[in-house]
Amino acid sequence: MTRVVYVNGRYMRYAEAGVHVEDRGFQFADAIYEVCEVSEGRLVDETQHMDRLARSLAELRIPMPMSRRALGLVLRETVRRNRVKTGLVYLQVSRGTAPRDFLIPAGGLAPTVVCLARRVDAAGREQRAASGIAVKTLPDIRWGRCDIKTVMLLPAVLAKEAAATDGAGEAWLVDAEGFVTEGASSNAWIVERSGALVTRQTGDAILPGVTRRTLLDVLSRENIPISERPFRVEEARAAQEAFITSASGTVMPVVSIDKVAIGDGRPGALTRRLRTLFHQFAELSDQYHPR
Ligand code: PDD
């Protein structure tokens, strides 16, 4: 349950928190966001999330609303006020509020900043990881700058809905050439029969996932071969193992793609190992006890 929400400098009660009806995030999806895992009350990979937030803002020419240190305090205070030990913290920055006009007002606007934190059902998540999830493939109908973490998430919403209708826990999006770009809200990985991992290289077509980046470090430390290249749906269906990565699920096994079992239809051994290793490598912030 979210009890307190940070909105533009104030901590407000959930039921009363809101932004202006002419916020450009609301009217144009002119906003970016970050989702950061909270583990033991600490932020996981905060530095990378802040780096990506700064990059997304710069790409859209939205000014940083406050210093990184101040943003870090907002994240921590929101986590603390909601008493989140295991969960997620969500930070959104929109360009700000102005009478509806496609053109951005000269001189710019004061960005809108919203932060919420909530607990996740850790037992439920572990259960999902133990059984693995099904994936459904769908055409990638998103725009050409998927590397920017904007709130323009309607294609992801529709894809995940279509997947859920088919009993799948994630949608894998497929480009015009038949290659998987990424999950609707995760990065996509397969394990070749040789034991090497494959995930698409970063670029305009995918979000450079923080979990993806940390996992690449894990692989290099563990000397596990990795190839950053596109892969086709057929290759994925014939893979030894498959999984997705995201802040909300870390390393989540995929056991079927379009109802075709992957490997023996159970979470793969390497995937399970990487899930365990992930938190040993991820950066964990300080614990925060002001006041
Ligand atoms: N989604 N690709 C897309 C399209 C995503 O939306 C996400 C994250 C990722 C994984 O990135 P990271 O490892 O930094 O979480 C990849 C978040 C969790 C969300 O929208 O809820």
For residue 286, the model assigns a pLDDT of 85
What is the structure's pLDDT at 284? Answer: 92
Ligand 1 centre distance from Cα of residue 209 (Å): 6
pLDDT of residue 289: 62
Contacts 24+ apart (CB under 8 A), 7-14: 7/112, 7/113, 7/114, 8/112, 8/113, 8/114, 9/113, 11/77, 11/78, 11/81
Beta bridge partners of 38: 43, 87
Contacts (Cβ under 8 Å, ≥6 apart) of 49: 34, 36, 43, 210, 247
Domains, the chain, with CATH or none: 4-120 (3.30.470.10), 125-281 (3.20.10.10)
In degrees and rounded to multiples of 5, residue 262 shows phi and psi of: -100, 130
Mutate to test the pocket of ligand 1, among 145, 146, 172, 185 (most ligand atoms within 8 A of CB): 185
Best probe residue, ligand 1, of 246, 252, 279 (max atoms within 8 Å of C-beta) = 246
Ligand 1 neighbour 236 (Cβ under 6 A): no
CA distance 159 to 45: 27
Question: Is residue 149 annotated as a catalytic residue, yes or no?
Answer: yes
pLDDT in tens, 191-220: 999 999 999 999 999 999 999 999 999 999
| Residue 290 pLDDT | 54
> pLDDT below 70 — which residues of the chain?
289-291
Task: Evaluate: CB of 215 within 6 angstroms of ligand 1.
Answer: no
pLDDT at 287: 75
Contacts 24+ apart (CB under 8 A), 197-201: 197/224, 197/225, 197/226, 197/227, 197/270, 198/226, 198/227, 198/228, 198/229, 198/231, 198/235, 198/239, 199/226, 199/228, 200/228, 200/229, 200/230, 200/231, 201/228, 201/229, 201/230
In whole angstroms, give the CA distance from residue 166 to residue 54. 37
